[in-house]
Amino acid sequence: MTAQINSNHQSRASLVLGIESSCDETAAAIVRRNADGSGTILANQVLSQDAEHAPFGGVVPEIAARAHVTHLDGIIERAMETAGVGYADLDGVAATAGPGLIGGVIVGLMTAKSIAQAKQLPFIAVNHLEGHALTVGLTDNIAAPFLLLLVSGGHTQLLMVSDVGVYKRLGTTIDDAVGEAFDKTAKLLNLGFPGGPAVERCARAGDAEAFALPRPLLGQDNCNFSFSGLKTAVRRAFEQTERTDDRLRADICASFQAAVCECLRDRAGRAMTLTAEQLPADSDPVFVIAGGVAANETLRTAFEQLCSERGFRLLCPPRELCTDNAAMIAWAGAERLHRGMCDTLDVAPRARWPLDPLAEPVGGAGVKA
């Protein structure tokens, strides 16, 4: 449920504590939304659980949830100390309420509710995806509208961002998310965890033309994605060769990464065509890449070229703000607080939470829509 707050938050600076626990990062941050609409990160503490999950080649939900319970209070305390603030200085508390691993979401959400209740502070339940979507407002002081490519382990979507809380989905994956494809490729090749950075590192020594991998949905008259077939083709390429050396792994990674970049470029180009037709002739169209996969350097280079060709300005958050963090949650909370969009303490955690609830279902997309 949404509750309205006093309008004086809309005319002055506000300080928000953000909490993120939707997957395997335990994070807390203090962010100030300045009176002019710009943002300042006063503290951004992130505790990675990579070492705990590495033996399993992926995130184990039970291990992640228990780690959040163990470490979250200390991470919040560290963020407060780093920022040099106390609870009396805060104007609100924000936490990821979904989507994500439900056990972890519950830990962060209940912690934030407890603080809000005890300190009589406004509470803001943040969609994790909205945190990614709005990060460029914090880092580049950019306001909507803009075109967004959201690429992560769980989601691959193209959205038109019109305002805080106003999103139109243009395209989505009909099967696997691109981050999942990176992770599965890394696991297949025994490159370690987390998979995305491991594949990117390995690809640097490889030949991107060594394997003729498919480009699913390339050229189709929509903005959807598909990575399941590409993932299967990588497995077949690896299993059908008698080699198992480092050069083989590098060539597969480079070929896979090149296929991913071409697919993303093609689908984004289609979205640019659709959105450019709706923008004023004198507008400055902005294209934003956000989410964990946006930290990939090859992907950024590919989109720099595309945006240059299509007349869009490319914006990407700093790499440390592409992966899961609490600064983006605090900022999304501050933006909502500024608009009087707060929540009551009975808001429920959500494992699934689409940014565009009105988007029509896409066949095969399932929970990735």
Q: Where are the domains of the chain?
A: 2-139+321-351, 143-317
Give tens-digit pLDDT for 68-87. Answer: 999 999 999 999 999 999 99
Which pLDDT value is given to residue 4? 47
Least confident of 124-138, 184-198, 332-346: 184-198
Asked whether the predicted pLDDT for residue 265 surpasses 60, the reply is: yes
From the list 50, 52, 45, 51, the residue with the least C-alpha distance to 20 is: 45
C-alpha 129/C-alpha 339 separation (Å) is 19
C-alpha 184/C-alpha 182 separation (Å) is 6
Which pLDDT value is given to residue 303? 96
CA angle, 152 then 107 then 327, to 5°: 50
Average pLDDT of the segment spanning 35-40: 96
Structure confidence at residue 2 as a pLDDT band (50, 70, 90) = low
Asked whether the predicted pLDDT for residue 29 surpasses 70, the reply is: yes
Asked whether the predicted pLDDT for residue 366 surpasses 60, the reply is: no
What the block records as the tokens of 290 is: 């956000």
Which pLDDT value is given to residue 34? 97
Give helix then strand counts, H and E, for the chain. 10, 12
pTM above 0.85, yes or no: yes
| Mean pLDDT (the chain, rounded) | 92
C-alpha 185/C-alpha 154 separation (Å) is 15
- Common-topology check for domains 2-139+321-351 and 143-317: yes
Average pLDDT of the segment spanning 307-315: 95
Which pLDDT value is given to residue 364? 61
Helix (H) / strand (E) element for 275: namely: helix 246-276
Who has greater pLDDT, 56 or 10?
56
Sheet with 166-172, side-by-side order of all strands: 166-172, 156-163, 146-151, 286-290, 313-315
Tell me the CATH number for domain 143-317: 3.30.420.40
Q: Strands 166-172 and 156-163, how do they pair?
A: antiparallel
Structure confidence at residue 361 as a pLDDT band (50, 70, 90) = confident
Give tens-digit pLDDT for 94-117. Answer: 999 999 999 999 999 999 999 999
Domain 2-139+321-351 has CATH 3.30.420.40: yes
Asked whether the predicted pLDDT for residue 190 surpasses 60, the reply is: yes
